[in-house]
Structure 1
């Protein structure tokens, strides 16, 4: 039974997900975030909004939450804030906003936005660098490609198994798009209405060379860097229809193997919610890499091809706009459960592993 204090996601929308430098290359954080924020406020019936909280990784300057609120036309009295928990930023923003709703009973909008195409170049003393560190000196600090390769070796994950995971994600995404299951959740930005999914098949995947000598991770089993945004409207307990937040968790893990963080977070969030793994109807776990996805599912005791996991394809097919991806996961749950007519009491889980050795997860329950 849902607690009388549980906040409820009552609307959820996202932009299409585009590859960096392609369809959304000219859409900055304000345009992307403003479009999805405006859509969820309208879907929710335009209630007074107390705050807009948006996750973001690349730090375009300013305040992505405030930029999104103003671009959405909410007016100068609606504030905004930003959360940086790397690939978990969008989901973290939703959890932070939900806690505030539980506290004061006022509606909020939360999500994530990333424009890798327009992100500024970072530099120290005039020298550009690719990324900020995920961990300080004295700790392992692999970039995510290296971390995926290390995890594949650590778990003994074969090239064939990773290729099969990527092929399955692409096939599921193609089927969902053909069936029109993604249309209702997507807000057009700059005329882009569909995800730039590659549709990569087994033949192409098999031809791709490993990214490291003697390794198994390839470009095909790695997600593409993406542009996109996602947002949800969160109402106080008592909302008639939506996803009630039942439990959540943010955990730390070994910075050398950050890809497994989602597994530990899912376990902790399920415990927080008092829900068993077998009870969950839908999982949306951010697929940064095939190796990472397989490793997380294995630790949870789930099969690689569990039909409940990313049933319409995941980030391997659709792309990974870092700061938005955790929020995209919640939008996908909303479509798979609320829009699709799942019965009251059905559970969904959104989760992500995070660079630096973190995991974040949330458990939602359908209310009607």
Structure 2
């Protein structure tokens, strides 16, 4: 199989729902990032063979095709929309990489985009003309109601089961905000927004005043330890060794391996642990040999369980902050993690390795391992 490289990465700022991106449809949010991405390397839009776009809330159709046309990519080009909920952005990159590895594509763009603000209202049709259609906020993620918990409920139960206190979760959230800083190089300006809009100077005093959203007093989750709903887009260019050599690209990153894996739908936060373990066993590598981690922080407890399981030091984890300090743009979040990892590894020595991981509703987990050649 052909080696696959990431040669460029860009994202929008992450903006809370109904914020500065509230008027932008998904393709209007994603297209500028793709155009900026192409400008960052010596590649013309006519050279792109396919587009993979992860999305969770669009409500039908093919947002990847809408985005490809809006970004003025070739009309001949196929466009694939991927919905594995929170894993969508990362899974789209894995699928695109497999297409390059097979030799079917030479250059492809993959990532994710989510407009929480413009997401459609969803209804189930009534059984008869005498009844009204029923609106629903989310689809089922498992066929059994007793194994399809609300994500907040599931995270709160894990906090209690693993005895991760509210105060410890808040310390983790405070650290996430503290780590967040300027990311101008990786962000495509949209509406003149060049920084993540949710990041703030979070304090223990502020956290202590927040009401519990789910769980008891000791292990409860609050708005500080739960990622805010957000709008964002993130994309990466993937290609083969031939193109890397031809364009003399010096900052490419090699995709060493990836793993998408299912687990117990009751505890989706644990799924990326299984995916990471499978990947590392196949690569015969330990966490000590991985230099940087980008792990999704949908909930503080989710990232903390992952960190504790693999004994990852804070100096290696989410060095530019995480979902708690940026926000969670579901279908884009996994791609955002990889954009962040791409930029973090640019400043690392040769042979440095980075791993990104994310969980999704229904008990899905995805992990990708990168190396700087």
Shorter-chain TM band: over 0.9
Q: Which residue of 2 aligns with 1:118?
A: 118
Among 267, 275, 281, the residue aligned to 2:285: 275
Provide the C-alpha distance between the structure 2 equivalents of 1:130 and 1:294, rounded to a whole number of angstroms: 28
Among 290, 295, 298, the residue aligned to 2:300: 290
Q: Which residue of 2 aligns with 1:170?
A: 177
Among 360, 363, 367, the residue aligned to 2:369: 363
Alpha carbons 1:263, 1:297 under 8 Å: kept = no
Taking a change above 3 Å as real, the CA distance of residues 213 and 230 of structure 1, as seen in their structure-2 partners, is closer
| Offset at residue 301 of structure 1 (A) | 2.4
Q: Which residue of 2 aligns with 1:15?
A: 12
Instruction: Report whether the alignment pairs 1:160 with 2:158.
Output: no
Provide the C-alpha distance between the structure 2 equivalents of 1:109 and 1:127, rounded to a whole number of angstroms: 38
Among 125, 134, 138, the residue aligned to 1:131: 138
Instruction: Report whether the alignment pairs 1:350 with 2:356.
Output: yes
Deviates more, 1:235-244 or 1:246-255: 235-244
SS of equivalent residue, structure 1 residue 88: helix
Aligned residues: 354
SS of equivalent residue, structure 2 residue 224: helix
Provide the C-alpha distance between the structure 2 equivalents of 1:27 and 1:190, rounded to a whole number of angstroms: 10
Structure 1 residues 31-73: Cα deviation after superposition (integer angstroms, max 9, x where no partner): 1111111122222312411100000000243312112211111
Deviates more, 1:74-83 or 1:279-288: 74-83
**Normalising by the residue count of structure 2, what TM-score does the alignment of the two structures yield?**
0.92
Provide the C-alpha distance between the structure 2 equivalents of 1:41 and 1:62, rounded to a whole number of angstroms: 25
Taking a change above 3 Å as real, the CA distance of residues 204 and 99 of structure 1, as seen in their structure-2 partners, is same
Alpha carbons 2:215, 2:221 under 8 Å: kept = no
| Offset at residue 132 of structure 1 (A) | 0.3
| Offset at residue 213 of structure 1 (A) | 5.6
Q: Unpaired runs of 5+ in structure 2?
A: 126-132
| Offset at residue 274 of structure 1 (A) | 3.4
Q: Which residue of 1 aligns with 2:128?
A: none
Provide the C-alpha distance between the structure 1 equivalents of 2:352 and 2:365, rounded to a whole number of angstroms: 23
Provide the C-alpha distance between the structure 1 equivalents of 2:311 and 2:199, rounded to a whole number of angstroms: 29
Q: Unpaired runs of 5+ in structure 1?
A: none
| Offset at residue 198 of structure 1 (A) | 3.5
RMSD: 1.5
Provide the C-alpha distance between the structure 2 equivalents of 1:64 and 1:272, rounded to a whole number of angstroms: 34
**Normalising by the residue count of structure 1, what TM-score does the alignment of the two structures yield?**
0.93
| Offset at residue 346 of structure 1 (A) | 0.7
Provide the C-alpha distance between the structure 1 equivalents of 2:341 and 2:116, rounded to a whole number of angstroms: 25
Alpha carbons 2:5, 2:240 under 8 Å: kept = yes
Structure 1 residues 130-182: Cα deviation after superposition (integer angstroms, max 9, x where no partner): 10011112651111111110110111111111010000001111xx22xxxx1
Provide the C-alpha distance between the structure 2 equivalents of 1:273 and 1:229, rounded to a whole number of angstroms: 30
Instruction: Report whether the alignment pairs 1:86 with 2:85.
Output: yes
Structure 1 runs (4+) deviating above 4 angstroms are: none
Q: Which residue of 1 aligns with 2:188?
A: 187
Among 242, 250, 256, the residue aligned to 1:246: 256
Alpha carbons 1:7, 1:235 under 8 Å: kept = yes
User: Matches of residues 214-225 of structure 1 in structure 2 within 5 Å?
Assistant: 214-215=216-217, 216-225=220-229
Alpha carbons 1:13, 1:185 under 8 Å: kept = yes
Whichever of the two has the greater Rg, that structure is 2
Provide the C-alpha distance between the structure 2 equivalents of 1:328 and 1:53, rounded to a whole number of angstroms: 14
Q: Which residue of 2 aligns with 1:226?
A: 230
Instruction: Report whether the alignment pairs 1:324 with 2:332.
Output: yes
Deviates more, 1:269-278 or 1:21-30: 269-278
Provide the C-alpha distance between the structure 2 equivalents of 1:153 and 1:140, rounded to a whole number of angstroms: 18
Alpha carbons 2:152, 2:214 under 8 Å: kept = no
User: Matches of residues 189-208 of structure 1 in structure 2 within 5 Å?
Assistant: 189-199=190-200, 200-208=202-210
